[in-house]
């Protein structure tokens, strides 16, 4: 098909945490497939090795579904991208192994992609933003970033746990019941909608960085005391954590004077967070965009698209340099495709 249409394709593999996902993009940025298979732990949080076992188990069927959806064959691929970090070691290694095997079998170049850069790039592609302040809030990350001098700089981030994790742990500890397919963060949002009383919780912003673990402990302790309505606790938890991240985003916006704000990550689905970020964007005459859920959560399409951007600027990852980097920071990555 590549030969017939003259189009080139990249397949992207995402496996940093609990998702195993395969996306296929054309070199001009048309996403042809984005298949996501989520590992759901039987109980409690994610165990990296069990998630990795899940990824290895579903890899071939997810790949097959992606090729079918895209209507192309493996031989049509020009390059193959994979998330090289940051993330959970065993999960990353499983994705990297699949990527290496497939790329060597097909005799095509491999491109190692930074997961955080990929969240920003797919956001720009999907929303048409060009130079935003990006707030990336998920189960494992809370990062406020913006482009400056060749890289995406981190303006503020969490010093301990991520916002999504904070909401998830609280919901689990408080025994909140999930509806089918409902993430814990969305359960907190549902309860918070019926909360009215703002209960004081620790608000910790140090410089531009945030801390959520003390606040989480305080919220759990208040729940255990049983003096407050669960709805009020969820409401207060949301208001406090979202105010913290909104304050940091606003300061990044004021400092950089960018004219766009992009909200991404699984937590971006939260309507209250959206309205708070939208409000500060408007105050600074910046345009607010939120990424559609399919592309806000961890997904293979973002890896495929970022792999294309990098490859077009001469970036390839030789097999011997394709080891995973579980602590690979956003600002370590040069992004020559951004001007």
| Residues forming the site for Fe ion (CB under 5 A) | 138, 298
Under the criterion CB under 6 A, does residue 86 sit at the interface with ligand ATP?
Answer: no
Q: How far is the CB of 73 from ligand ATP (least distance, A)?
A: 30
Under the criterion CB under 6 A, does residue 235 sit at the interface with ligand ATP?
Answer: no
CA atoms within 13 A on the CB side of 242: 26
Under the criterion CB under 6 A, does residue 236 sit at the interface with ligand ATP?
Answer: no
CA atoms within 13 A on the CB side of 23: 31
97/264 with CB nearer ligand ATP: 264
Under the criterion CB under 6 A, does residue 266 sit at the interface with ligand ATP?
Answer: yes
Q: How far is the CB of 86 from Fe ion (least distance, A)?
A: 9
The 8-class DSSP code of residue 179 comes to P
The 8-class DSSP code of residue 73 comes to -
Under the criterion CB under 6 A, does residue 189 sit at the interface with ligand ATP?
Answer: yes
Under the criterion CB under 6 A, does residue 142 sit at the interface with ligand ATP?
Answer: no
Under the criterion CB under 6 A, does residue 265 sit at the interface with ligand ATP?
Answer: yes
Under the criterion CB under 6 A, does residue 84 sit at the interface with ligand ATP?
Answer: no
Tokens found for residue 214: 């003390």
Gyration radius of the chain over CA positions: 20
Which spans in the chain are helix H? 2-5, 48-70, 89-106, 115-127, 163-173, 184-192, 213-225, 230-256, 271-283, 293-296, 300-312
Task: Tell me which of ligand ATP, Fe ion, none is bound by residue 250, counting a contact when its beta carbon lies within the kind-specific cut-off of 5 to 8 angstroms.
Answer: none
Under the criterion CB under 6 A, does residue 141 sit at the interface with ligand ATP?
Answer: yes
Q: How far is the CB of 149 from ligand ATP (least distance, A)?
A: 25
CA distance 116 to 95: 16
Cα dihedral sign, 270-130-299-115: negative
Label the pairing between strands 287-290 and 260-264: parallel
Task: Tell me which of ligand ATP, Fe ion, none is bound by residue 189, counting a contact when its beta carbon lies within the kind-specific cut-off of 5 to 8 angstroms.
Answer: ligand ATP
Under the criterion CB under 6 A, does residue 37 sit at the interface with ligand ATP?
Answer: no
Binding region for ligand ATP (CB under 6 A)? 16-18, 138-141, 164, 167-168, 183-186, 189, 265-267, 269-270, 297-298
């Amino acid at each position: 098909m590549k030969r017939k249409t003259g189009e080139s394709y990249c397949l992207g593999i995402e496996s940093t945490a609990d998702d195993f996902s395969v996306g296929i993009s054309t070199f001009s940025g048309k996403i042809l497939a984005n298949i996501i298979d989520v590992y759901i732990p039987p109980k409690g949080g994610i165990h990296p090795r069990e998630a990795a076992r899940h990824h290895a188990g579903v890899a071939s069927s997810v790949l097959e579904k992606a090729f079918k959806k895209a209507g192309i064959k493996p031989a049509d691929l020009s390059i193959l991208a994979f998330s090289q970090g940051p993330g959970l070691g065993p999960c990353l290694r499983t994705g990297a192994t699949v990527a290496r095997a497939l790329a060597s079998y097909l005799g095509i170049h491999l491109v190692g992609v930074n997961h955080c850069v990929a969240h920003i790039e797919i956001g720009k592609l999907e929303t048409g933003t060009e130079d935003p302040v990006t707030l990336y809030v998920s189960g494992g990350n809370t990062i406020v970033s913006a482009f400056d001098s060749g890289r995406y700089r981190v303006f503020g981030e969490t010093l301990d746990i991520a916002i999504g994790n904070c909401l998830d742990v609280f919901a689990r500890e408080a025994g909140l019941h999930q509806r089918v397919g409902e993430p814990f963060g969305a359960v907190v949002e549902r309860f918070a909608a019926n909360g009215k009383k703002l209960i004081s919780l620790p608000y910790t912003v140090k410089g531009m960085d945030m801390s959520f673990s003390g606040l989480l402990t305080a919220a759990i302790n208040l729940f255990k005391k049983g003096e407050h309505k669960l709805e009020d606790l969820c409401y207060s938890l949301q208001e406090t954590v979202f105010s913290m991240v909104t304050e940091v985003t606003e300061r990044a916006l004021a400092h950089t004077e960018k004219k766009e704000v992009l909200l991404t990550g699984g937590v971006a689905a939260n309507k209250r967070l959206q309205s708070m970020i939208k409000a500060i964007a408007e105050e600074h005459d910046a345009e607010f965009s939120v990424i559609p859920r399919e592309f806000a959560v961890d997904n293979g399409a973002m890896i495929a698209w970022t792999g294309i951007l990098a490859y077009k600027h001469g970036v390839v990852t030789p097999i011997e340099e394709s080891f995973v980097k579980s602590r690979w920071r956003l600002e370590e990555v040069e992004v020559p495709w951004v001007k």
